[in-house]
Structure 1
Amino acid sequence: MYDYAIMWEWMAFAARWLHVITAIAWIGSSFYFIALDLGLNRNIPGPADGEEWQVHGGGFYHMQKYLVAPPQMPEHLTWFKWESYWTWLSGFALLMILYWAGAELYLIDPDKADLATWQAILISLAFIVGGWIAYDALCKSPLKERPTAVMLVLFAGIVASSWALNHIFTGRAALLHLGAMTATIMTANVAHIIIPNQRIVVADLKAGRTPDPKYGKIAKLRSTHNNYLTLPVVFLMLSNHYPLAFGTENAWIIASLVFLIGVSIRHFFNTMHARGSAPWWTWGVTAVLFVILAWLSTAPLRTATVEAAPLSGAALRYAEAEHFDAVSSIVMGRCSMCHAHEPAWEGMLWAPKGVVLDTPEAVAREARRIYLQAGVSHAMPPANLSFMTEDERATLRAWFEGAS
């Protein structure tokens, strides 16, 4: 069983690594093409909608954009889609590995909703799929000719989803699921709107028909939505490392305001890339919103009420296992000066990553993490500042492996 825990940890690491790599590729190409499109020189004669000269890596590049399609189809055409698809696939795999397989620890908060694992997973999937269905219906509704109205309704839906998720799941899972729902919208835009519309244009061109410009217009609108949603998704995917973002009663408001920050930042860069007058006021708005986030994050953490819940499932098994009394003494002696509701370590105001280990019940709940961080590896305590001995680490391993 303990070999399984180590293998599972490495699977999560591999999925996260792939997710980060593909996300970098997707976001990089997306931001590049948005900047390229906005910066095109359109004061040129000819069939092209605009052109741009750039220099990079010792060479010069001459790019031309055709609003609908070029007069003749080139022999080689590069499609930008797999970056998006693999980002979503690797992210979904990571969601299943961490939040579905580890639902008892990371997904379910009995203080909010006493759910069975299968119920929590179904709700998780419903938000991810339902977000895309609602968004796509919005974009095809009578509001589609009013982009600003679409964005306002979309933001209202995001706020409502943030509130609902934070009243169902743990704070960490709530923010992650809001990001996953938004990322699903972005990838579905690529898979179901942008790429299919581009294929229609290519097919028309090959058949000698004049492509309808509406397909390019629709694809560009969805691409613009993706552009403005990218930065909030990155924040939400990183938020699980920062308890001040997810561990407060105001986490749903923090997540909602992050979308406004993303819009203000992208507005600045999009305007600048379009060679317009840079709206420096957006940085003031961003700074004010960020200060508000910091202020909201000071609300009391929920961990105290969660720890008071009775043990069940795997946590109860670890609490009843051999060596548990010794393990509790080791962890609370070597780790709880930092991992406590009120850390004793100078300058530390909250437990790192929201992990509290100052009661036997808390130790039982964090059995797997203790085993991996302090038993198998020497990641904790940091630099072994509390002088955990090799015999103590052996006791941690014996406890976890015996109970598993």
Structure 2
Amino acid sequence: MYDFAIFWDWLAFAARWLHVITAISWIGSSFYFIALDLGLVQREGMPVGAHGEEWQVHGGGFYHIQKYLVAPERLPEHLTWFKWESYATWMSGFALLAIVYYAGADLFLIDRNVLDVSAPVAIALSFGSLVLGWLMYDQLCKTRLGENDTLLMLVLFPILVVVAWGYTQIFSGRAAFLHIGAFTATIMSANVFLVIIPNQKVVVADLIAGRKPDAKYGRIAKTRSLHNNYLTLPVVFLMLSNHYPLAFGTQFNWVIAALIFLIGVLIRHYFNSMHARKGKPHWTWGLATVLFLVIMWLSTVPQVLTGEQRVSATGEAYMASQHFPAVRDTVMGRCAMCHSAEPSWDGIAFTPKGVALETDVQIAEHAREIYLQAGRSHAMPPGNVSHITPQERALLVAWFEGRGK
């Protein structure tokens, strides 16, 4: 079992690494093409059908780029499609969701003090919410609201606020933030897979058949791409949030998530305006700073805990181990000064990663993490500041590997 735990942790690392790599590729190409599109200018002498052009310098050379709003008269021999960056980002992200949150549902996905459900039910709620989110968004885009980007965003924002609140009523704070990001990222990737690329394929098929493509396909694809552009920065924040309990582990975490969307939109508005040569609206940075200060203030409101802590069957097995009394003493003496509701270690204001280790239940429920962080590796305590001994580390290993003995 312990060999499997090590293998699974490395598998999660590999999936996370792949997800970061593919996300960089997708976000980079998305930001580049939005900036390119906004910076296009019309000049005399451009080919028939060309909407605009741009000259750029990079890597020791010059690039002359032209955009056809509908399509060129003749399809070029080589056509590069930008789609696999999006697909690979979503697939690797979902794999990571399954590896960490689905396989470790009792620890990472479910908080029985929030909602006491079984792992299959929690996983079904997770996956179902991602599908429902796309269907709801897509239908809104197909209404008359979809013809006005600003109005559509004003309607979508309160929906996102409700979604953020809803996730915090179902999952742990850490999982809730991750799911808000996954909810949004699913919409973004589905935009590419189900709208943008299919529309572009219709245009290509018309060109091959000698027909004149309908301009509506390009307009729809461009609108969805713009939506993705404004949603990117909030998603990046939410995907990083699992390292910061000040974001996900406080009472108003859902409000914090909502404000992050506003900050992301403000920052993208600044860069989009600059790339479109419409000036530099510096006020966006001022307002984003104010909102971030509000977020910092909201994070100081302590989480209100109610009800008795619940323990899973796995946690009960670890608590029944003959090693548990000694393990509890070790954790309380070497770890709990930081991993507590009110850390006593100087400079630590909130329990790291939201992991408290003050009670028997908390220690038992985090057995795997204690084993990996302080038993098999020396990651915890940082710099061994609490002077945990080799014998105590060996005890933690024996406890986890001999569960129930």
Quickly name the TM-score band, shorter chain normalised.
Answer: over 0.9
Residues 1:151 and 2:153 aligned together: yes
CA contact (8 A) 1:44 1:50 kept: no
Q: What residue is the counterpart of 1:79 in the other structure? A: 81
Paired residue secondary structure (2:66): strand
> What is the CA distance between 1:277 and its match in structure 2?
1.2
TM-score normalised by L of structure 1: 0.97
**Residues 39-50 of structure 1 aligned to structure 2 (within 5 Å):** 39-46=39-46, 47=48, 48-50=50-52
Equivalent of 1:122, from 114, 121, 124? 124
**1:157-196 to 2 correspondences below 5 Å:** 157-196=159-198
Letter in structure 2 aligned against 1:203: A
Q: How does 1:170-319 map to 2 (within 5 A)?
A: 170-301=172-303, 305=306, 308-319=308-319
Distance 1:342 1:112 in 2: 21
Q: Is the Cα–Cα contact under 8 Å of residues 53 and 64 in structure 2 kept in the other structure?
A: yes
Stretch of structure 1 that moved more, 356-365 or 182-191? 356-365
- Structure-1 separation of matches of 2:342 and 2:164: 28
Whole-angstrom distance in 2 between the partners of 1:374 and 1:110: 26
Q: How far did residue 184 of structure 1 move? A: 0.3
1:384 — aligned with what? Answer: 384
Q: Residue type of the partner of 1:156?
A: P
| 2:106 equivalent in structure 1 | 104
In 2, the alpha carbon distance for the partners of 1:37 and 1:83 equals: 19
Cα deviations by residue, 1:31-71 (Å, 9 ceiling, x for unpaired): 00000111112233322211111111112111111111112
- C-alpha separation in 2, matches of 1:172 and 1:340: 17
Residue 13 of structure 1 corresponds to 13
Measure the CA separation in 2 of the matches of 1:346 and 1:76. 61
Counterpart Cα distance in 1 of 2:340 and 2:148: 51
SS of equivalent to 1:49: strand
Q: Distance in 2 between matches of 1:55 and 1:144?
A: 36
Letter of the 1:16 partner, please give it: R
Superposed CA RMSD in Å reads 1.2
- For residue 70 of structure 2, the aligned residue among 46, 68, 71 is 68
Deviations 1:175-223 (A, max 9, x none): 1111101000000000000000000111111111111111000000000
Alpha-carbon displacement from aligned partner over 1:211-244 (angstroms, at most 9, x marks no partner): 1111000000000000000001011111111101
After the TM superposition, which parts of structure 1 deviate over 6 Å for at least 4 consecutive aligned residues?
none
Displacement of 1:361 after TM fit?
2.2
Q: Check conservation: 1:337, 1:344, Cα contact below 8 A.
A: yes
1:322–1:402 Cα contact (<8 Å) kept: no
Note the alpha carbon deviations across 1:336-365, whole angstroms, 9 max, x for none: 111111111112111111111122222111
Aligned residue pairs, count? 402
Single out whichever of 24-33 and 165-174 deviates more from structure 2. 165-174
Check conservation: 2:338, 2:345, Cα contact below 8 A: yes
Residue of structure 2 in register with 1:333 after alignment: 333
- Indicate which of 53, 57, 60 corresponds to 2:59: 57
C-alpha distance in structure 2 between counterparts of 1:376 and 1:37, whole Å = 51
Amino acid paired to 1:108: I
Structure 2, unpaired ranges of 5+? none
Corresponding residue number in structure 1 for 2:358: 358
Letter in 2 for 1:229: L
TM-score w.r.t. the length of structure 2 is: 0.97
Secondary structure of residue in 2 paired with 1:278: coil
Question: 8 Å contact 2:309–2:361 — kept in the other structure?
Answer: no
Whether contact under 8 Å (2:177, 2:248) holds in the other structure is yes
In the alignment, the residues of structure 2 paired with residue 117 and residue 139 of structure 1 have an alpha-carbon distance, to the nearest angstrom, of 34
Post-superposition offset of 1:151 = 1.1
Question: Equivalent pairs: percent with the same residue?
Answer: 63
C-alpha separation in 1, matches of 2:130 and 2:30: 22
Provide, for residues 342-395 of structure 1, a one-character-per-residue CA deviation record: whole Å limited to 9, x for no partner.
111112111111111122222111100000001000101111111111111111
Residue 305 of structure 1 deviates from its aligned partner by: 4.6
Amino acid at match of 1:248: T
Partner SS, residue 378 of structure 1: coil
SS in 1 for 2:331: helix
Distance 1:312 1:165 in 2: 21
Further displaced range: 276-285 or 42-51? 42-51
What secondary structure is seen at the aligned counterpart in 2 of 1:403?
coil
Partners of 1:120 and 1:67 lie apart in 2 by: 45
Q: Where does residue 35 of structure 1 map in the other structure? A: 35
Q: Could you tell me which residue of structure 1 aligns to residue 342 of structure 2?
A: 342
